[in-house]
Amino acid sequence: MATNCENVSAQMMELLYGELPADARANVDAHVAGCARCRAELDGFQKTRAVARQVLDEAPPARARLAILNAAAAHLAAQAQPAAAAAAPAAAAPTPARKPVVEEKFSFWDRLRARWAFPTFATVGAVAVFLVANKMFLDPEKSLEHRPAATQEERAAPPATPPVPSPAAEPAPWEGKPPEAADNEAKMGHRMPPHGARVAAKPAGRADDDREGGERGAKKAKKEGRFAEPPPAKPAPAPAAAEEKAYRDQHLAKQKFAPPPPPKESASVPANKAADKIADDPFAAGAPVDAPPSLRGPAPSRRMKAPSQAQGDLDSLMTGEGERSRAGGGNALGSVGGVGSVGTTSKGDGYGSGAGAAPRTATAPRPTVGDASRAAQAPAAAPVQATAPPPPPPAPVATKSRAKRSAELEADEGYVAAEPGKAQQSKDEKKAGGKNAETETLLQRADRLFADGRWAEAAAIYRELLRRDPRNEDAERWRRRLVAAENAEVEQRNANVAAKRAEQKRDSAESAAPARKQAAPKASKATSTESQ
């Protein structure tokens, strides 16, 4: 019985509150019925419970319930309000009890939408920006990788492949060379380091569309008696240009300008790559202003980076900033605007638009600058160049092979190389075109600065010229000059940075050496003391 009493006492709480299982309950009941002590204990607890329950039955103040209900109703109203506002006209619900259900659901989704709409859009936007940036920043590398292949393609491609003779590529007659020789020279020119082709990234398709303008230019040139004979319709790229190229190739090798030193500053790589990219871009040499956007395709987005970066570089150079200012998003956008508005409007600081419109080219023209004798060898280049009509819509350009384009680009490059000595000629051209004197003086100054290798100043003036007169027939040349100047400047800066780094390295090495020397005696001293 004692164990039973203990068991009952142990299970007293469950027994008291009815939480005993049925079988256990029966055993306990049987024991309690025959055990006075257990029954007394149970009775005592039950009596205590009864009294306690009587005491603990105090009603809360009525105002508390009122306040609670008011708050509950207010909460409901607040929740239903947005939904009610959304479904206001259709709120003529027949059953008042049903209507709030709908409103509640509405309000829930409404809140959900309101809570997630902005984060969702923000995330999507961020991803989009990232993707675009990714493409812009990483694509140039691809173009660099593909570059050597393209060069080989160029070599393989016969120079006569352009189906339509390019008037811009004709100014050979004064050379008196047979077309074969010119072709050979052109091929030689193609062996230039790839970066050379970056200059004057004239779209290949332009050759087709330069027909009329080129003929016009040829006539004009003939009138001025500069051509010994009318330029024969020859499909090959300009022999003169090729000769120029070959000459410059040698010159480059001599001056160790080409190939450009591998950029030691990592930051400079994208710029050059971007320049490559731009050169590859058929539209980079001056996107046709009137071309419908659909024809341009993805070109603007590809071009976004390089011009803006070039702008950043140039600006930082001009302002004497030590560190390259990477083009930010705003800058890039501004440049895109500049690209889009080439020849029509020029917004911003007077630099951005021109830079954005102009193709990035490499150092090619630089060695030719100041080489008066060489410049004099290509007297006809400038006229042809200057009379080139505004670029036509680029639709066919995109289908042209890279090799063809490169060939024509190099031909153009030749003209660029021929430019420096021909400022006067181009001036005449412009006068004939009815351009004002201010532009002339500016152009003269720019050409002089360019010849002197003062890239930043020259680039600034070219930009200004482009801004003032983007439709000028000489604008194409200005753009090439501008880009060439910018690139030259960047390269110069890269070289400076590399030199500075090398100097720092040397300095640090020198400073480290004495430190080691000092440390060595100390160590030996310490070991000697220890041994003692």
d(CA 11, CA 9): 5
**Is residue 72 part of the contact set for another protein (CB under 8 A)?**
yes
Q: Which is nearer to another protein, 66 or 149 (CB)?
A: 66
Q: How far is the CB of 61 from another protein (least distance, A)?
A: 6
Nearest distance, CB of residue 48 and another protein, angstroms? 4
**Smallest distance, Å, CB 55 to another protein?**
4
Asked if residue 259 has a cis previous peptide bond (ω within 30° of 0), the answer is yes
Rule CB under 8 A: choose which of 97, 156, 509, 515 binds another protein.
97
Asked whether position 80 contacts another protein by CB under 8 A, the answer is yes
b vs e for 30-49, b when ≥16 Cβ sit within 10 Å of the residue's Cβ? ebbeebeebeebbeeeeeee
Query: Toward another protein, which CB reaches closer, 100 or 356?
Result: 100
CA 109 distance to own-chain centroid = 39
Amino acid at 351: Y
Which is nearer to another protein, 101 or 131 (by Cβ)?
A: 101
Residue 457 one-letter amino acid: E
Q: Which is nearer to another protein, 71 or 228 (CB)?
A: 71
Tell me the two tokens of residue 353: 């638009």
For residue 431, give both structure tokens: 């006068």
Look-up: residue for tokens 């030749």?
414
Determine, following the binding rule CB under 8 A, whether residue 85 of this chain makes contact with another protein.
no
Question: Minimum CB separation from another protein for residue 89, in Å?
Answer: 19
By CB under 8 A, residue 103 contacts another protein: yes
In whole angstroms, the minimum distance from the beta carbon of 118 to another protein comes to: 22
What is the Cα–Cα distance from 25 to 33, expressed in whole angstroms? 12
Q: Applying CB under 8 A, which of residues 25, 31, 99, 448 lies at the interface with another protein?
A: 99
Neighbours of 157 (CB within 10 A): 18
Minimal distance in Å, beta carbon 102 to another protein? 9
Can you tell me which of 81, 91, 108, 328 binds another protein, judged by CB under 8 A? 108
Question: Does 510 engage in binding with another protein (CB under 8 A)?
Answer: no
What is the maximum alpha-carbon separation in the chain? 141
The CA-based dihedral angle spanning residues 76, 81, 82, 86, taken in that order and rounded to the nearest 10 degrees: 130
- Minimum gap (Å) between residue 91 Cβ and another protein: 13
Minimum distance, C-beta of residue 100 to another protein, in the bound complex (Å): 2
Rounded least distance, CB 1 to another protein, Å: 10
The answer to whether the CB of 392 falls within 8 A of the CB of 282 is no
Interface region with another protein, contact rule CB under 8 A, candidates 12-20, 182-190, 271-279, 452-460: 12-20
**What is the dihedral sign for C-alpha 124, 126, 129, 133?**
negative
Query: How far apart are alpha carbons 309 and 171 in whole angstroms?
Result: 35
Subset of residues 299 to 318 that bind another protein, contact rule: CB under 8 A: none
Least distance in angstroms from the C-beta of 334 to another protein: 49
Q: x/- binding map, residues 462-501, to another protein, per CB under 8 A?
A: ----------------------------------------
Q: How far apart are CA 419 and CA 425, in angstroms?
A: 9
Query: How many of the other CB atoms lie within 10 Å of CB of 261?
Result: 13
Determine, following the binding rule CB under 8 A, whether residue 112 of this chain makes contact with another protein: no
Q: Which is nearer to another protein, 100 or 205 (CB)?
A: 100
Q: Which is nearer to another protein, 99 or 177 (CB)?
A: 99
Q: Compare residues 4 and 444 and give the one whose CB is closer to another protein.
A: 4
In three-state secondary structure terms, 149 is helix
**Alpha carbon distance 21, 36 (integer Å):** 23
Token pair listed for 68: 């609670």
What distances in angstroms separate CA 443 from CA 109, 271, 420, 438, one per listed residue?
65, 27, 11, 8
What is the chain's Cα-based Rg?
A: 42
- Shortest spacing between CB 133 and another protein, in angstroms: 41
User: Does 127 contact another protein by CB under 8 A?
Assistant: no
> Which of 28, 100, 276, 418: binder of another protein (CB under 8 A)?
100
- Number of chain residues interacting with another protein (CB under 8 A): 48
* Separation between Cα atoms, residue 199 and residue 55, nearest integer Å: 100
Extract the tokens encoding 144: 């660099």
Q: Which among 6-14, 161-169, 182-190, 355-363 is the span making contact with another protein, rule CB under 8 A?
A: 6-14
Compute the Cα dihedral for 360, 364, 368, 369 and give only its sign: positive
Three-class HEC string of 381-413: HHHHHHCCCCCCCCCCHHHCCHHHHHHHHHHHH
**Touching another protein, residues 281-300 (CB under 8 A):** none
Residue from 76, 122, 128, 138 touching another protein (CB under 8 A): that is 76
Closest approach, Cβ 65 to another protein, in A, equals: 6
Of 75, 142, 219, 431, the one binding another protein (CB under 8 A) is 75
Q: Which is nearer to another protein, 68 or 124 (CB)?
A: 68
Residue labelled with tokens 């164990």? 3
SS3 (DSSP) at 159: coil
Pick 14 or 440: Cβ nearer another protein:
14
CA pair distance 464, 466, nearest whole angstrom: 5
CB closer to another protein, 101 vs 126: 101
Per-residue interface string for the shown chain with another protein, residues 30-69, x marking contact by CB under 8 A? -------xx-xx-xxx-xxx-xxxxxxxxxxx-xxx-xxx
List of residues contacting another protein (CB under 8 A): 5, 9, 12-14, 16-17, 19, 37-38, 40-41, 43-45, 47-49, 51-61, 63-65, 67-69, 71-73, 75-76, 80, 97, 99-101, 103-104, 108
